Structure 1
Amino acid sequence: MGGVSFGGGGVPPEPWGLRSAARGSGCTKNRYNSTNITLRPNRRCAMKPGKFEHYEPTSIDQAVMILADVADQDGRVLAGGQTLVPAMALRLARPAFLVDINRIEELRRAEVRDGALEIGACVRHAAFHQPVVPGPLGRLLAQVVRHIAHLPIRTRGTFCGSIANADPASEWCLVSSTLDAEFVVRSVGRERRIPAAEFFLGYMATALEPAELLVAARLPLLGEETRFGFEEYSRRAGDFAQAMALAVFELHDGVMRNVRIGVGGVEDRTRRLAAAEACLEGIAPDAQEFQRAADAAAQQVQPSDSGADEQAYRRDLVRAVVRRALDKGMQQ
């Protein structure tokens, strides 16, 4: 774990939690472990971001200990950086401290545990280009990931970073809401699991506390009889979705069971639509029933747009993407 100063023209203050006994030596002892840590020398240079202190913990325990110290002083977690770094470059965000978790090995894994796919905080979007698990869940993730931005962003951005950012147009937030995922968060001496329905609180707002680290997302595995369809509308490939829908259901003896319909890009968060789901539960699938569910979805959403015409347009988009998602599910 190390700390290094960036940006600015003068000599920045001492890193929080790292007290140099002799700055010229570049080495110091700190409260996070008992060994000497080599710091890269401070440089007098101008950068696009403002000044910040950069920490690179090598364990979750180190990371949450640092967060406990810096969270209330505008400390931020850095994983993929695909939202934070551009904001810093424009100085729309000026965090004083960055806790870079990319050196934490255990956060780079996506593996099955206790009936769920557990996705570590440093797993990149690109990891899902091919199914990471057999069965419908792996195929679902591989299909959805190709709608996320562009390839360079997918090679750096992370699944959990998208969750923590909580953009209502995020494909991974939609997947998590629709599948009733849960999120594992850690702080000093505490771990808790938060269901997706309780995690997303509003536009780019979550239940994460300032000193908590999102360490993993857990997606329940899907049975072999599960079908799914994903549909997204954006004006250009790679743009943020104006509306998107994910439909997941099972077919048993010709009727639909365990129907889940989620939408995103329309309201201030992604969520499931219970009224639309109820239209199809226990029903034999056909075009008329799918249209009825799509109409119910359009009525249930409360678009964030301010004007009546814009809201009507968004509802029409919801009607279209839900219907198409259901149709795709039946085509599997």
Structure 2
Amino acid sequence: MKPPPFTYHRPETTEEAVALLAELGEEAKPLAGGQSLIPLLALRLTAFDHLIDVGRIPELAGVALDVGGETVRVGAATRQATVQRSHVVRTALPLLARATVHIGHRQIRNRGTFGGAVAHADPAGESPTAALTLDAVIEARSPRGTRTIPTADFFTGTWSTVLEPDELLTAVELPVWSGRSGFAVREFARRSGDFAIAGAMVGVELDPDDRVRRCRIGLFGLGRQPERGFGAEESATGTAVADIDPDELGTAVTDALDGIRGDLHGSVRYRRRIGAVMMSRAWSAAVEEALHD
């Protein structure tokens, strides 16, 4: 199928892009890498009168570590392949680097953008889940100025966020972990490159006594949006890591999710079980890495 007709715009600056969004309103949609939006248009699952191509605006691309070494800023139009190869990301944000490897195929990562994937808010997407798991902050610009949005408040449902029609996601800022930390991503898909039926991301920081000082748990492919295991994080924090059973933790995390949906790829029960197994494996791998850090 072919997408419905639209008018193509290619602004040269962020200001021009934001002005177009404000002028055209809900009839316009930003286009970055197009790896998610174009298939939806071609299948006639959505339609827009105007597409605003922001994928080649130089100021929206790039990865940078701040002077204090505490935060990494990833421009919205940064290609996923660039994120994957970035030395800054691999050393300062290993969870993001490991999550990006699972995105589609090389050709998709060469075209797809990190900010576009986060804004697309696919519940089975690795990029939005990594941002949520790492407590990232979204930077969005509109004619009213720039605002920052914690990822915990950003996603509202499948392909849905709190962004206003005249707002453009311009960057994502992710905090850098220090100390004895370990990270892991585990997902189950029927074929390499497919969207995950269920997946989990885990970050764990241990204190000198091998107690959990901090942990973050993200889940994808299981609900209407990327999920966080806030309850499990709270219960694990302060606990000796040897006293935490990974299988019990994985079951507790998925049992706490009430929005798991079944489809032709698996029932609710099946997805919940696969999610628990992925969570258990990710937790074990992250803890193992932290113990040997």
Which whole-Å deviations, capped at 9, do the CAs of 1:9-31 have from their partners, x for residues lacking one?
Answer: xxxxxxxxxxxxxxxxxxxxxxx
Compute the displacement of 1:288 (Å): 5.0
1:316 corresponds to 2:273: yes
**TM-fit CA distance, 1:139:** 2.5
Q: Look up the match of 1:297.
A: 253
Spell out, residue by residue over 1:35-71, the C-alpha distance to the aligned partner (whole angstroms, 9 max, x if none). xxxxxxxxxxxx9333322211111111111111112
Q: Distance in 2 between matches of 1:49 and 1:230?
A: 35
- Indicate conservation of the 8 Å contact 1:186/1:192, yes or no: yes
Equivalent residue for 1:328, pick from 271, 276, 285: 285
Q: CA deviation at 1:185?
A: 0.5
Over 3 Å counting, the alpha-carbon distance change for 1:85 and 1:219 in structure 2 is same
* Residue in structure 2 matched with residue 36 of structure 1 by the alignment: none
Q: Distance in 2 between matches of 1:158 and 1:215?
A: 12
After TM superposition, the structure 1 = structure 2 runs for residues 7-26 of structure 1, keeping only pairs within 5 Å, are: none
Q: CA deviation at 1:109?
A: 1.4
Equivalent runs, 1:1-332 vs 2, <5 Å = 48-72=2-26, 74-113=27-66, 115-133=70-88, 136-253=91-208, 254-286=210-242, 289-305=245-261, 310-332=267-289
Aligned equivalents of 1:141, 1:288: Cα separation in 2: 25
Q: Structure 1 residues 263 and 71 mapped into 2: Cα distance closer, same or farther (>3 Å)?
A: same
Q: Which amino acid aligns with 2:8?
A: H
Deviations 1:198-230 (A, max 9, x none): 100011110010111010111111114221111
Contact 1:136 1:224 in 2 (8 A): no
Whole-Å separation in 1 of the counterparts to 2:243 and 2:184: 15
- What do the CA deviations read for 1:251-284 (whole angstroms, capped 9, x no partner)? 1121111111111110111122122223321222
- The one-letter code of the counterpart of 1:108 is A
Deviates more, 1:129-138 or 1:321-330: 129-138
Q: How many corresponding residue pairs? A: 284
3-state SS of paired residue (1:263): strand
Larger Rg computed on CA atoms: 1
Q: Mean Cα displacement is larger for which, 86-95 or 210-219?
A: 86-95
Q: In structure 2, what is the Cα distance between the partners aligned to 1:199 and 1:136?
A: 26
Between the aligned partners of 1:311 and 1:64, the Cα distance in structure 2 is: 41
Structure 2's unaligned 5+ residue stretches are none
User: Percent identity over the alignment?
Assistant: 36
Tell me the distance in 1 between the aligned counterparts of 2:76 and 2:110: 14
Structure-2-length-normalised TM-score: 0.90
Contact preservation (8 Å) 1:135, 1:223: no
SS at match of 2:164: coil
